[in-house]
Amino acid sequence: MTLVAVGVFSGYTFVQLSVLRRLQTETIDRNRRDTLLLLRIQNGLNSVALAMRDMLDTEAISDGPSYPLSAWRPQFRPLRDDLEDAIAQERSLSIHDRTSGQEQYLYNSFRQFWEALDRMFERSEVNEEEARTAIRLSLQARQAAISTAVARLLIQNNEREQAAANRTRQIYEGVQANVYVFLAAMLVVIVLTSLYVAQYNRRMFRQVEEFSDQRSELAQQLIAMQESAFAAISRELHDDFGQILTAIGVMLQRADRKAGDLVEVREVVQVTLDKVRALSHALHPVVLDEVGLDGAFDDYLPSFEKRTGIEIHFEKRGEPKELGRDVTIHLYRVMQEALNNVAKHSGSKTAHVVLEYGESEVRLEIADEGRGFRKTRGGLGMVSMKERAGMVHGTIEFLESDAGGVLVRVIVPVSVREVNAA
């Protein structure tokens, strides 16, 4: 639409400029040159009139014999040549709207005037008085008529020039008005286009937001299903297999008094029991329900430190508070995932874990001294941590720690904890 508007306005402007150029070259300039030639003709006619007046005045003011008229012929020759040249040029420059009758009348009037002047000079050689009478009665009248016709043409040229000036002013005013119209139209087009783009972007952002909400909801559902499955499997392992292995261990301990070769079987059963308990704890840490979040940290961090060789510095701040089940499990999983990333990707030998209870929030920070984000890959673990923080209406940040590694900071508001606890 913008390109079409620009094209239409440009075409209209070019047409107007072409009209203005044609008006300037074919009308105004040509009319002015024609006016100059008409003024030249008028001056020549005035010179002829003065010469004829001098011819007649010579007889009146002369005390001796009168000056013969034939002696004036050489004076009229340059005047005639100049007027004929001016007439020829004027006919080539005459305005197109001038009638052929006007052109023919001017041309015939000059031709008849020069023929009458020639006859007057020829008559003056025979009868001087008749020649002077011809000047007074015919030649002066013809000259006056021609001067009147030239003056009328000058008036017409002046009217044409005024009309051309008015037309030029109208063209300029039209172009100026169209510039304003074009600017207003362009402004409307820009506003409409901007509104359309804004509406389109808003619709696209809404769709992206809906897709993001759907993805987040799906991820939360998957995490919830995962935790439910882990809890169910953990209960099965702890309640069924754990009790079975414990009963077998007790029976083997009793039988150990009668048969010494059952000691090895009892040890295998004990190792199996420990592994089942460890797997049950990994799937669903029962210690969260028994001793709370900070107690679960105290139980998990030493085993992680022993398993990975990474030195863990754990710091608790503030007065411990009872948290909702969802908050504790998600904070616990974030801590596990962050420490697993430290062990897999950072290359750090030290990690710092801070659990802080505030008045309006719970803050968890896990920092390492490893390679940082330049060497750390962002995968499903980071996505899982983000989703877990969102499930309890908390915020999570992945920052650069003071030691150059990665700092994971999770903040959960108190109001959410109270709702979850209820």
**Token pair of 139 as six digits:** 């030649």
Name residue 317's beta-bridge partners: 356
Do residues 152 and 23 both lie within one domain?
A: yes
Residue 378 in any domain: the answer is yes
Contacts of residue 416, defined as CB under 8 A and 6 or more positions apart, other chains included, come to: 324, 327, 392, 393, 394
Name residue 101's beta-bridge partners: none
Please give the helix or strand (H or E) that residue 363 lies within, else none.
strand 361-368
Residue 203 in any domain: the answer is no
Residue 119 has pLDDT above 80, yes or no: yes
Residue 257 in any domain: the answer is no
Please give the helix or strand (H or E) that residue 57 lies within, else none.
helix 29-61
Burial bucket for residue 44 (CB in 10 Å: 0-12, 13-18, 19+): buried
To which residue do tokens 């009872």 refer? 322
**Token pair of 322 as six digits:** 């009872």
Domain total in the chain: 2
**End residue of a domain, out of 164, 191, 218:** 191
**Token pair of 373 as six digits:** 């984000």
Do residues 182 and 329 both lie within one domain?
A: no
Residue closest to 15 by CA, chosen among 160, 171, 184, 185: 171
**End residue of a domain, out of 170, 191, 212:** 191
Average pLDDT for residues 147-160, to the nearest whole number? 86
Burial bucket for residue 364 (CB in 10 Å: 0-12, 13-18, 19+): buried
**End residue of a domain, out of 136, 169, 191:** 191
Q: 308 is in which domain, residue-wise? A: 285-421
Which amino acid is it at 153?
L
Q: DSSP letters along 253-305, please?
A: HHHTTT-GGGHHHHHHHHHHHHHHHHHHHHHS-THHHHHHHHHHHHHHHHHHH
Under DSSP, is residue 412 helix (H, G, I), strand (E, B) or coil?
strand
Confidence class for position 231, pLDDT limits 50, 70, 90: low
Residue 414 has pLDDT above 80, yes or no: no
What pLDDT sits at residue 168?
77
Average pLDDT for residues 60-73, to the nearest whole number? 65
The overall average pLDDT reported for the chain is 78
294-337 pLDDT tens trace? 888 888 899 888 888 999 999 999 888 888 888 888 888 899 89
Do residues 8 and 124 both lie within one domain?
A: yes
d(CA 395, CA 416): 12
Backbone torsions φ then ψ of 284, nearest 5 degrees: -150, 105
Do residues 15 and 152 both lie within one domain?
A: yes
Instruction: Give 367's DSSP letter.
Output: E
pTM of the model: 0.44
Residue 230 has pLDDT above 50, yes or no: yes
Q: Count of alpha carbons within 13 Å of 354, Cβ hemisphere only?
A: 14
Percent of the chain with pLDDT over 90: 12
263-286 pLDDT tens trace? 666 666 676 766 666 665 656 666
Q: What size, in residues, is the chain?
A: 422
Average pLDDT for residues 168-179, to the nearest whole number? 77
Do residues 176 and 309 both lie within one domain?
A: no
Greater model confidence, 241 or 115? 115
Residue 46 has pLDDT above 50, yes or no: yes
Residue 208 has pLDDT above 90, yes or no: no
What pLDDT sits at residue 154?
87
360-404 pLDDT tens trace? 899 999 999 888 765 445 567 788 888 888 888 899 999 888 777
Residue 375 in any domain: the answer is yes
To which residue do tokens 């990975």 refer? 308
Residue 222 in any domain: the answer is no
Instruction: Give 393's DSSP letter.
Output: T
